[in-house]
């Protein structure tokens, strides 16, 4: 039976648009509602209690839009507050589990690097999930809070000297540890893949958390007969908690094309 309700996606800011980009590739007929909490970005430097509060508000907002599935397109929420999705009346998909599984499948030497936000790294969730799947693995984690700000500001060109130098500093522990697989554990980070690849080299497998999460969501919908039967292109609606004007330019970078769909400001404190 078809289900034409939209897929709901939320993130602390614009990074979750990388999940939307992958969803559109996989499921072009699906309607999507996206919420970016641009007024409170980043989540990665907040306390666990604050992150939980924000996640619950984001989820309640998406539920008010009649979504059929919610994706926490935020590595921080997935690592710190994934439990908020367990009691939802719709299926919930988070980032960390699927990224961990992909890394374990990809590694050849058992040395796995994790790049994520400060809160995500501090939670230990990536480490615990990887070790559960591969107890003998070595995990090297590094929090990269500046990456989120650089992406939100649009400083993503592979030749941008500020972003490149920042990446070199964050990635040095991964190089020293000779990791062969590197999880881009925040959905902002895949936008910096070219820069990261330039520094790490072609022998390092990058795990795009946005891509594997979108694949997991698509498989769930297919397996549970919840796909839309739209014969045309899906309808996309975007909501933000801060100014809409600054959203357009960076959104086009993350989506890979100009923003296509309605963009609306929302007062998230009402939820």
Can you tell me the distance from the alpha carbon of 25 to that of 158, in angstroms, rounded to the nearest whole number?
A: 24
Query: Of these residues, 17, 144, 183, 186, which one is catalytic?
Result: 186
Phi–psi pair at 141, nearest 5 degrees: -110, 145
Query: Of these residues, 51, 74, 217, 221, which one is catalytic?
Result: 74
Q: Which tokens belong to 188? A: 């902002």
Phi and psi based region of residue 181 (left: phi greater than 0; alpha: psi -120 to 50; beta: remaining)? beta
- DSSP-derived secondary structure letter, 5: S
144 is catalytic: no
> In terms of Cα–Cα distance, which of 249, 99, 237, 258 is closest to 181?
99
Which residues fall within 8 angstroms of residue 223, CB to CB, at 6 or more apart? none
Catalytic positions are 74, 186
């Amino acid at each position: 039976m078809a289900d034409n309700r939209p897929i709901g996606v939320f993130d602390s800011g614009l990074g979750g648009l990388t999940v939307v980009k992958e969803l559109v590739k996989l499921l072009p007929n699906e309607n999507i509602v996206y919420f970016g909490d641009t007024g409170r970005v980043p989540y990665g430097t907040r306390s666990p209690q604050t992150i939980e509060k924000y996640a619950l508000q984001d989820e309640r907002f998406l539920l008010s839009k009649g979504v059929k599935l919610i994706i926490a397109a935020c590595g921080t929420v997935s690592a710190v507050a994934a439990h908020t999705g367990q009691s939802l009346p719709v299926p919930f998909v988070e980032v960390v589990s699927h990224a961990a599984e992909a890394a374990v499948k990809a590694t050849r030497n058992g040395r796995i690097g994790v790049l994520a936000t400060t809160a995500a790294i501090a939670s230990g969730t990536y480490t615990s999930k990887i070790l559960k799947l591969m107890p003998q693995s070595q995990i090297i984690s590094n929090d990269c809070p500046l990456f989120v700000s650089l992406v939100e500001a649009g400083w993503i060109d592979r030749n941008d000297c500020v972003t490149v130098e920042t990446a070199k500093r964050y990635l040095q522990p991964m190089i020293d540890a000779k990791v062969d697989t590197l999880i881009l554990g925040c959905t902002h980070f895949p936008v910096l893949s070219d820069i990261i690849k330039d520094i790490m080299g072609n022998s390092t497998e990058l795990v795009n958390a946005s891509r594997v999460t979108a694949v997991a969501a698509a498989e769930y919908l297919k397996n549970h007969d919840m796909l839309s039967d739209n014969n045309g292109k899906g309808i996309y609606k975007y909501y933000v908690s801060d100014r809409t004007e600054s959203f357009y330019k960076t959104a086009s970078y993350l989506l890979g094309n100009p923003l296509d769909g309605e963009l609306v400001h929302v007062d998230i404190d009402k939820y």
